[in-house]
Amino acid sequence: MDKVRLIAAPLSLYCCRVEMALRFKAIEYEYIHEDVADKSPMLLELNPVHKKIPVLLHNGVPINESLLILEYLDETWKENPLLPKDPCERAQARFWANYADEKGEDKEKAIATAVESLAFIEELIKGKKFFGGESIGYMDLALGWIPLWTSVMEEVGDMKILDEETFPFLHEWAQSFIQVPLVKSSMPPREEFFNYVRSTAKYLRSLAAKKL
Amino acid sequence: MDKVRLIAAPLSLYCCRVEMALRFKAIEYEYIHEDVADKSPMLLELNPVHKKIPVLLHNGVPINESLLILEYLDETWKENPLLPKDPCERAQARFWANYADEKGEDKEKAIATAVESLAFIEELIKGKKFFGGESIGYMDLALGWIPLWTSVMEEVGDMKILDEETFPFLHEWAQSFIQVPLVKSSMPPREEFFNYVRSTAKYLRSLAAKKL
């Protein structure tokens, strides 16, 4: 009997991505709440390099990095595959997942770059319900942070990012995606996430002000 | 009949990594030389996002990003596997490959970080000939830039990075790795690479001097 545990926190969209994958594959798991403001000795031991959540523990063996956890889950539990079968499509899915994550890391700093990267992704979703086709897959989960994150950033920053007119297909995907039951149940509550982003933004602004 | 082409340049260690993989798997390919100082319309069309080499063309379909090309080759040509079979070991190989690449990107800026990251990698190679075991694999190719790069940086900067006393196992791996015939034949000539690094370093210093 496999024992799966996930060290995570509810406001991390990286963790959320893994939770969705676990639910997508109907894998039972135990949720271990991590306090990122005061990291546990367990986390530091299991991910000594990045000291970051999420960490998946499978029969005691730790797997780090959310996208690598998706690959691991897909290789270990074959049912409900996340990645496409075709190696070329797999390469593309990985490429865009990495690309969006890299761009996303500068999120707070550069909305402009985020919008530019959305333009590429808009092309990929054109004419499809999900990136995975008729149902969700690896790329949907990998890009799953976009709907909630953009919607909250739009409100915090009083601006438009995932504009319906500029990105009609991505906008439609976002609507379909957040309706999927397992997605809905994995995403953090909007209000909590909103407060978290707002306080982070305030903190960053105060840092920037000090530098000036 | 598969048609494989590689858009590359001889001084790029990312390209070199892919060439080694192609040779490791005994895949015949055509080498298309790219002038990175004056990028070809072909490259810009095939990799519009990053506009970078290497690009693998398999029957006309482009695959970008050297690590993703390794995955693609491994999935498409099963013989001489690059990644280990066990999903957990695969996750670890991917983790360290990405980690070393991230750290490597700051190479010119932060040798200190590079040395710190070598300390982690030293632990991984302890007691093994290659990361892949008795013969080379994915991680050997992914970290294959280390021997030549560190040796050249040591000479350019008149310092020690891959110190034999600090990193005895990594040092030994580097020696074994560069002796592998397909590695030897894929690496750029040391002198050319040395000149390239030296002129890049000079250029960066001149930029830094201007800023002061």
Percent share of chain B, pLDDT over 90: 43
Is there a contact between A68 and B94 if contact means CB atoms under 8 Å apart? yes
pLDDT band at B6 (very low <50, low <70, confident <90, very high): very high
Q: Which two tokens stand for residue A77?
A: 């539990």
Tell me the shortest Cα–Cα distance from B174 to chain A, in angstroms.
23
- Per the confidence metrics, is the pTM higher than 0.80? no
For B155-203, what is each residue's pLDDT tens digit? 888 888 888 999 999 999 999 999 999 888 888 889 988 988 888 878 7
List residues bridging with A55 in a β-sheet.
A7, A64
ipTM for the predicted complex = 0.72
In the stretch 50-79 of chain A, residues with CB closer than 8 A to chain B read 58, 61, 63-65, 68-69, 71-72, 75-76
Q: pLDDT confidence of B110, banded at 50, 70, 90?
A: low
pLDDT at A199: 85
CA distance B195 to chain A (A): 31
How far is Cα B155 from Cα B13, in angstroms, rounded to an integer? Answer: 18
What is the pLDDT, as a whole number, of residue B32?
97
Question: Contact, B21 vs B15, CB < 8 A?
Answer: no
> What is the overall mean pLDDT for chain B?
87
Task: Return the higher-pLDDT residue of B105 and B46.
Answer: B46
Angle at the Cα of A30 (from A24 to A33), degrees rounded to 5?
A: 110
Q: What is the pLDDT of residue B112?
A: 62
- Inter-chain touch A91–B76, beta carbons under 8 Å: no
pLDDT one digit per residue (tens) for chain A, 212 residues? 789 999 999 888 899 889 989 988 899 999 999 998 899 999 999 998 889 999 999 999 999 999 999 999 999 999 989 998 999 989 988 988 888 777 656 544 456 666 777 888 898 899 899 988 888 889 898 888 889 988 988 888 888 888 899 999 999 999 999 999 988 888 888 998 898 888 887 877 777 666 55
pLDDT for B109 beyond 80? no
Q: Which is higher by pLDDT, A43 or B96?
A: A43
**Residue with token string 């105060």:** A206
The half-sphere exposure of A187 on its side-chain side, counting CA atoms within 13 A, is 23
What span, in angstroms and rounded, lies between the C-alpha atoms of B97 and A118? 27
Q: How far apart are CA A172 and CA A178, in angstroms?
A: 10
d(CA A125, CA A100): 14
Contact across the interface for B71 and A91, Cβ inside 8 Å: yes
Q: Give the list of residues 6+ apart from residue B188 with CB closer than 8 angstroms, or none.
A: B10, B11, B13, B16, B148
pLDDT at position B113: 64
A99-116 burial string, b = 16+ CB within 10 Å, else e?
Answer: bbbebbeeeeeebeebbe
What pLDDT shows up at residue A13? 84
Please indicate whether, in this complex, the C-beta atoms of B72 and A90 are within 8 angstroms of each other: yes
| Over residues B51-79, mean pLDDT | 95
